[in-house]
Structure 1
Amino acid sequence: MKMVRCAIYTRKSSEEGLSQDFNSLDAQRDACSAYILSQASEGWNEIGDRYDDGGLSGGTLERPALQRLLSDVAEGRIDIIVVYKLDRLTRSLLDFARLVEAFDKTGTSFVSITQSFNTTTSMGRLTLNMLLSFAQFEREVTAERIRDKIAASKARGMWMGGIPPLGYKPDGRSLAIVEEHAAIIRAIFERYHAIGNVRLLGDQLKADGILSPERSTATGKIIGGGAFTRGQLYLMLKCRTYLGEVQHKDRVYPGLHSPIISQQLWDRVQARLAANLLGHRNGVRMKAPSLLAGRIVDEKGDALIASHAAKAAAGSAEAKIRYRYYISDPRHSGSGDGGMRIPAVEIEAAVTERIAQAFDDPLTLLEQAKLPLEPDMLIGIEQRSADLTARIRLKDHALVRGIVIRVQVEKGRVVILCSVSQMAELLKIPTAVDASTELTLTSAIRLTRSGRAMRLIQSNGQHASRRVDPALTKLIVQAHRWWGEIRQGEINITRLCEREQVSDAWVSRVLRLAFLSPKVTDAILRGEQPAGLNSAALLATGTVTPGWCGQERLASPKLPPASRGCVEVNR
């Protein structure tokens, strides 16, 4: 009979009683030893090493005895891990998933002697999965009851907790006005109505020494005390709480609290905000609003404005192609001081792809966001994450804008600030009181010029947004068409120059593109050529080598060689 090596792991959260001759760790070990002895007929045998963690929490894997246990598991010294209860091993979903993954790699099983969990058998695994499913169901039902209660309470105008807007303080299930702060709110609304520009409003408040008042939250955290940011001002100007209302998702109800702002002033301010809404140009709303409008800034923190230009489509006198950009204010106003101008499609593709990559690994994402996890929350999270990833890559406007707080374009990288609460809600994960409110994602990317256009280039040399270069494609098509006419004897180079009204040197340079490596041609037609490989580069003298191997190395070091030897062009 094969001997099954069994290791006993014990843990106690507090140090109380550890100094006694017989403590909780000893009791756990005796119970586990007795269970192993009862399985002697199956070949179970207790190993001599002790794995005892006294006075350590189950919320972390950084426990000396557990680390020794995992090391021995990785080295193949243990077949079964025996614990008194499952929570002795871990209380965290993320840690539980990691432990199961580590055990599966070496074929190690674990047994909880008081909960009938024995993953050495198929029935044990089924029991564990069923219990986790019921636990997940109970959590979702509880969450639904809480959401329904919040919705019903807000419909009655109640304040349901959280940090109250500036100008109010909690008063039971309502809000009481803090007159000193309310005066600042009224001044902000009145000044914005007069100025009509949030950035100028912020500058004016700062110049006048009007700062955000310091306030203490229920947890004792001090907030405020600095200058008002544009984001804070926008939120204030759109906060319906100041109108004496309570908002729940897309519905608004009369609140139990008193308003700070009159209906007349509110209407005037909202009219000005609507008139200045990003995405409007010359009083006409764009049909395809920019995904990052109002959320993208340059490295100095200055807003990049969503704009567009329309150019006539080739071969049509009426049809136009719309090109979208994010531009800095000086360039938008025409001052010509060389402000930033970024193609919208490129930066939006880079941002959505980075967020999608984060959702591709939900457990790591939740760990980075410092969200509390439990084992019963593992059910369904992978599927929800996969669904969200697909929607993000399709640039779901509402979804992406709900996640993104701010995008900052810096030299060599893009910094994406994401809402942790929104991510948790999408993944159906509860947030802890001390959880982070923001998660920072970065993408190595740089802004470079490609011909007359500005492109975003990734660290691997590829464009952030895979797009076919129309000018380059047109040249290749033209080269093959001209070469086909010459090869068929329909025309010679002299007559071709006369017909096209170009020089023979130009024709010769274009014709070279008809002899590009098929792999290079395919890469260009798919938009996978590296940054800098544009029509000007291909037409430059000496760029296109006769050998296909050299062409492929120029086009992309990742392209496989055409053959074992370079194929020379026959002219």
Structure 2
Amino acid sequence: MNKVRCAIYTRKSSEEGLEQDFNSLDAQREACAAYILSQASEGWSQLPAVYDDGGISGGTLERPALKRLLADVAAGTIDIVVVYKVDRLTRSLLDFAKLVEAMDKAKVSFVSVTQSFNTTTSMGRLTLNMLLSFAQFEREVTAERIRDKIAASKAKGMWMGGVVPLGYKANGRTLAMDNQHAALVRSIFNHYLEVRNVRLLTAQLSEQDLRVPKRVTGTGRKLGGKPFTRGQIYKILSNPIYIGKICHKGEIYDGQHSGIVDRETWDRVQAQLEANTQGEQQSRTGRTPSLLAGRVFDSEGNALIASHATKGTTRYRYYIGKGGEGDTSLAQRTLRIPAPELEKVVCELVAKEVERPLGLLAKAGIELTADIVANLADPSASLATGLRKRERATVRMCIAKVTIRPAQLTIELYATGLCDLLSITPTSPATTNPAISINANLRRSGRAVRLIHDGLSKSTEGEPQEHLLKLLHRARAWWQMMLDRKLTISALAREQQVTSSYASRVVRLNFLAPEVVEAIATGKQPIDLDAKKLFGMSDLPLSWNEQEDLLLDR
């Protein structure tokens, strides 16, 4: 009778209970040994080597005992691997396939004591795969439950572990303030408001030989002892945990711990960080950066992406996103709003408001002394000038969010940034960010969507519309063909494979007034002047003055 060498493999996911004299691993090994003994008539015998993995998950193959087992399998010293249950070997279907392949290569069978099968038969393989699929499903469900529990706990403001932020120490499911380190965090926030630059702040902390405090984590990992880096400073300044908040996957919840810095200081720091965002490139294409990048949203809260297209030496910038609700024709198509036009409209509207800032400050809930009110004229005029010049730092420190709806434009301002730009220290902190709303309509002009609001009838930037330029070129070319070849409208339409009506509407554009043509060529035409309007005019006046009055809104 041939001797069959059997190796027993045991595993337990947690370390709980392993210190006991008779633990789960012992119970598994004893059951496997009894099964091998029951097969003694078949020549089975237990190998003396012990393959135990205690406190290691079945979701990984990086297990010391399993590696020794596979090495012995490859060496040909094992004929059968015996486990208590299939999920003791692995809970991953992909890992199981790798293990079976390795065992097949060495002609080694796999036996589960409680499930009574082996991998030498096709039915055994099928049963194994089915059981392992359920084992993997159970593992994934358990992981989902853990993730859901963490999310629910963080929504309640609990601290769920990890590296404790500087300034705090773990206290169960919350954080307790470390007064010494908290003072350092406050000084970093206050110092940043003085220098207004992370790079300069990092350099000054290095000159003062201020280092990250030494700490030891719960797992024994040593932290700190080195100079602050720019990344560490930025992470501290942008971490809402310092105002008593808990973050989880982009959501922010009220925490159960106390904040280290006050809300006003936090808002001022965030406004300055936003204003310092490095959006400008050093290359030629960065000469006209998008001032409102990351700040423009549609009616559904989706961000519009700053994009551009280059033709020749001209760079055309746009804010692109999905259409908002209300206007079905726009909702089904992509918003593509010319960036210079939107930026000028927004900056002009905000400039007009800051020229009389008391209304905005009142909306923010800011109380001012009589002396501050008396000295607001010069700072407000300077701020309005900076906005009209579209100075990037000023715009990004002042404007928090622009929301574009089919019939309304809303601009939200940073209250703390507004106070800083007006050089005022209010007697009470801001309670909300003030907002400006005006009636505005989105109207498609070619591929772009134009913004039309009260008091704005002309294009705000010299940006020619490509579809209008093509129409003028086509009108000139078709008229020249008719002159050179003495074609009628009908003959021209047949040749160009268009209707006679369309051909006549295009050709008559050759007789537009020179000032109308110049306005279209330079992008100075009214926003609502598009191909639809030109084609929709059944009778184009022959008088150039009448055309200018009709088409240029004079």
Name the TM-score class by shorter chain. Answer: 0.3 to 0.5
Q: Which has the larger radius of gyration?
A: 2
Taking structure 1 as the reference length, what is the TM-score of the superposition? 0.42
- TM-score normalised by length of structure 2: 0.43
